[in-house]
């Protein structure tokens, strides 16, 4: 009897020992789904057969709300579309509105926007690093990441008074000029921060457990990634040049020097590497922008009521921390957008989750989901 059992366990008669398909429900309240994403996972033993994401647990109807708000009022809601990287969404909406109405902000405002958006990218990637490492079992980077993130938030708070939802980048400029001590403080932070990146890398990059969990897991090939609408750092981890800052330069990104971070691997580890390199690039970008900052006005003069031209529309894209962020606005000659659509990177990135996790183990879902840097309010809006 024992021999029979052993032979079967070693790969004998599968029909006798075959397992039934069973369903594991993750979420909507689950620590590793970054909020309220729900995953219904069909499994065969420990192997994933299908992952079905169930969305809508944070569908706050922001697009409907924007249809009944004036353009400047909408900026408040854009903060909440992606709260980890609120400046980027502020910027996306402000740029779209400016292009719709033909406004041109003064240079100082543009450089300030770049400073804040790049600082926000650092903050967002730091939080991502903490959460990603936490997902696969390393809890320390979370504390390190948030330690430095707090210092960036201090800079934001000093300028606009908020820690998370800034409402700082407005249509036609920025809300308020920076304080005189902002520039030295920001430089001091960058000098303090740069060596810390090496510290994180020492902690994680070639850590054997980390490598084991991320190398070769969740492979995205370039063709599959493009066809499935993957964008941002997740697609650059597969070696596709897709940075909107390079492809369709906005602000003054054509006047500063930075390299687009590409990694050929296509696995979770490559996506991690892309983001860590982007942090370094952002540090250098902030430095360049601070150098180019010159005194001047920070806002263009706007009419008392901002109205879009009748029957106008715009699709404007920026590179947010998570990837391509598109805003589609339709104007009908009134002060409110007729239609506002937020195309968010997380939405299209989460779509590939099912294809990436088939055939892998349950625990790998967390690694893949973490490496895609999805955030639920962007998926649901």
Partner 1 sequence: MGIGLTGVSGPEIEQMESESQIPGLWTLEKAVGFIFKWARKNSLWPLQFGTACCAIEMMATAAGRYDIARFGAEVFRPSPRQADLLIAAGTVTEKMGYALKKLYEQMPKPSWVIAMGSCTIAGGPYYYDSYTVVKGIDSFVPVDVYVPGCPPRPESLIHGLMAIQKKIEDEPIFRRRKNA
Partner 2 sequence: MTNDELKSKIEADFKDKITSAVISAQKELIVTVKPENYLQLCQALRDKGDYLFQHLSCLTAVDYPKENKITVVAHLWSYKYAHQVTIKLDVDRANPKAPSLEKIWQSTNWFEREVFDLYGVVFEGHSDLRRIMMPEDYTKFPLRKDFTDDGFIIKPN
- 146 vs 306, which CB is nearer to partner 1? 146
| Nearest distance, CB of residue 164 and partner 1, angstroms | 5
CB of 267 to partner 1, least distance (A): 27
Residues 43-62 touching partner 2, rule: CB under 8 A, are 55-56, 59, 61
Return d(Cα 312, Cα 335) in angstroms, integer.
13
**Nearest alpha-carbon partner for 27 in 48, 55, 6:** 55
Determine contact, residues 205/348, Cβ cutoff 8 Å.
no
Taking the complex as a whole, the smallest distance from the CB of residue 235 to partner 2 amounts, in Å, to: 9
**Coil, helix or strand at residue 298:** coil
Tell me how far apart the alpha carbons of residues 262 and 248 are, in angstroms, rounded to a whole number: 18
Q: Which residues bind partner 1 (CB under 8 A)?
A: 28-31, 35-36, 56-61, 64-65, 67-69, 76-77, 80, 83-84, 127, 142-143, 146-147, 149-150, 163-165, 376-377
- 25 near partner 2, rule: CB under 8 A: no
Return d(Cα 273, Cα 291) in angstroms, integer: 28
Beta bridge partners of 53: 39
- Structure-token match 């195309």, residue found: 343
To partner 1, the closest distance from the beta carbon of 264 in angstroms equals 33
Q: Can residue 338 be called a binding residue for partner 2 (CB under 8 A)?
A: yes
CB of 69 to partner 1, least distance (A): 8
How far apart (Å, rounded) are the C-alpha atoms in residues 167 and 339?
21
Q: Is 263 in the site for partner 2 (CB under 8 A)?
A: no
- Token pair of 308, please? 């879009």
Chain-centroid distance, C-alpha 289: 22
In a 10 Å sphere around its CB, with 0-12 CB exposed, 13-18 middle and 19+ buried, how is residue 193 labelled? middle
Residue 241 interacts with partner 2 (CB under 8 A)? yes
Is residue 247 within the footprint of partner 2 (CB under 8 A)?
Answer: yes
Is residue 64 involved in binding partner 2 (CB under 8 A)?
yes
Cβ at position 58, least distance to partner 1 in Å: 6
Nearer to partner 1, 55 or 190 (CB): 55
Widest pairwise Cα distance in the chain: 88
Which helix (H) or strand (E) segment is 324 a member of?
Answer: strand 323-331
Nearer to partner 1, 130 or 265 (CB): 130
* Partner interacting with residue 192 (select from partner 2, partner 1, none; CB below 5-8 Å by kind): none
The yes or no reply on residue 160 touching partner 2 (CB under 8 A) is no
Neighbours of 97 (CB within 10 A): 26
* Cβ at position 144, least distance to partner 1 in Å: 9
The item of partner 2, partner 1, none sharing an interface with residue 242, based on CB under 5 to 8 Å by kind, is partner 2
347 binds, among partner 1, partner 2, none (CB under 5 to 8 A by kind): partner 2
Q: Does residue 309 touch partner 2 according to CB under 8 A?
A: yes
CB 79 within 8 A of CB 160: no
Nearest residue (CB) to partner 1, 252 versus 338:
338
Please give, one letter per residue, the 3-state secondary structure of 207-246.
CHHHHHHHCCCCCCCHHHHHHCCCCCHHHHCCCCCCCHHH
Nearer to partner 2, 23 or 241 (CB): 241
3-state DSSP call for residue 307?
coil
360 near partner 2, rule: CB under 8 A: no
**Tokens in use for 99?**
């292009």
Kindly state the smallest distance separating residue 143's Cβ from partner 1, in Å. 5
Beta partners for residue 318, in sequence order: 325
Tokens describing residue 264: 């050929």
The residues of the shown chain that bind partner 2, judged by CB under 8 A, are: 55-56, 59, 61, 63-64, 68-69, 99-100, 226-229, 231, 240-242, 247-248, 309, 312-315, 317, 324, 326, 328, 330, 338-339, 341, 343, 347-348, 351, 380
């Amino acid at each position: 009897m024992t021999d029979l059992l052993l032979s079967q366990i070693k790969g004998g008669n599968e029909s006798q020992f075959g397992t039934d398909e069973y369903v594991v429900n993750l979420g909507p309240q689950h620590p590793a789904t970054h909020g309220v994403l729900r995953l219904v996972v069909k499994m065969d033993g420990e192997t994933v057969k299908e992952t079905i994401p169930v969305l809508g647990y944070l569908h706050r109807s922001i697009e409907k709300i924007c249809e009944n708000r004036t353009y400047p009022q909408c900026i408040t809601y854009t903060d909440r579309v992606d709260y980890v990287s609120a400046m980027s969404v502020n910027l996306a909406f402000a740029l779209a509105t400016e292009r719709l109405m033909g406004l041109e902000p003064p240079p100082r405002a543009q450089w300030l926007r770049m400073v804040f958006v790049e600082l926000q990218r650092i903050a967002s990637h730091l939080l991502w690093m903490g959460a990603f490492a936490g997902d696969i079992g390393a809890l320390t980077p979370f504390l390190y990441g948030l330690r430095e993130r707090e210092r960036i938030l201090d800079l934001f708070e000093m300028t606009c008074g908020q820690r998370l939802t800034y409402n700082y980048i407005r249509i036609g400029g920025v809300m308020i000029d920076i304080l005189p001590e902002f520039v030295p403080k920001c430089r001091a932070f960058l000098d303090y921060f740069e060596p810390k990146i090496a510290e994180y890398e020492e902690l994680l990059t070639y850590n054997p457990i980390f490598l084991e969990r991320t190398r070769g897991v969740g492979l995205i090939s370039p063709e599959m990634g493009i066809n499935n609408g993957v964008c941002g750092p997740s697609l650059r981890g597969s070696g596709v040049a897709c940075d909107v800052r390079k492809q369709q330069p906005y602000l003054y990104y054509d006047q500063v020097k930075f390299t687009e971070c590409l990694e050929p691997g296509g696995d979770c580890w490559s996506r991690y590497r892309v983001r860590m390199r982007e942090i370094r690039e952002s540090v250098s970008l902030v430095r360049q922008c601070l150098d180019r900052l010159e005194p001047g006005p920070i806002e263009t003069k706007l009419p008392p009521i901002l109205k879009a031209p009748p029957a106008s529309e715009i699709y404007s894209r920026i590179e947010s921390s998570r990837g391509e962020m598109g805003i589609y606005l339709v104007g009908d000659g009134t002060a409110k957008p007729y239609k506002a659509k937020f195309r968010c990177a997380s939405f299209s990135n989460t779509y590939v989750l099912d294809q990436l996790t088939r055939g892998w183990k349950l625990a790998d879902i967390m690694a893949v989901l973490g490496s895609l840097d999805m955030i639920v309010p962007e998926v649901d809006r």
